[in-house]
Homo-oligomer: A and B are copies of this chain.
Amino acid sequence: MAKKTQRQPLADDNLGVATWSVFLRTHAALVRTIEREVEEATGLPLSWYDVLLELNAAEKGRLRMQELAARVVLSRTRVSRLVDDIESAGMVERQPDPDDGRAALAAITDLGRKELLRAAPLYLGRIQDHFAAHLTYQQLRAIRDGLEQVLAAHEHTEP
């Protein structure tokens, strides 16, 4: 009846926890490395890239601050100050929302698009080198589909 789980009851003795653990460790290692390398190579912090990417993909290249915050991955709760910084660098500009005087729009500028296009291949290259290159097509699909399920379930529960 004695089982090996007795020896180390808190560790990776079950598949779900082991998967979660490697998920955390991989994120910590890769995000830091890629962030540093992209900033070294382009001068653009990854958080700026994140904002410019979302604005560029949006209708008319602009979004309300709230929507921008919802789409961005890296600096969620800092968007207002982040946009300040990127605006100082001339890569976005704030515009009033014609439909709602309370809202503010952040719009990507020509310089912003230029910088985004310059940085993009470098970022994509790092993702390829550090992440995708080590996985097979089947593994990539399994990870993408699996995590999409997890994320969908999460968005279903949390508002």
Judged by DSSP, the binding face of A is: helix
**Interface hub of A56, A127, A134, A141 (most chain B Cβ within 10 A):** A134
- The number of chain A residues touching the other chain, given as a range, is 35 or more
Q: Interface-forming stretch among A59-67, A83-91, A147-155? A: A147-155
Query: Could you tell me which residues of chain A, from 97 to 148, have a CB within 8 Å of some CB in chain B?
Result: 116-117, 120, 124, 127-128, 130-135, 137-148
Most chain B beta-carbon neighbours within 10 Å: one of A53, A73, A132, A147? A147
Give me the interface of A with B, judged by CB distance under 8 Å: 8-11, 15-31, 33, 53, 56-57, 73-74, 76, 116-117, 120, 124, 127-128, 130-135, 137-151, 153-155, 158
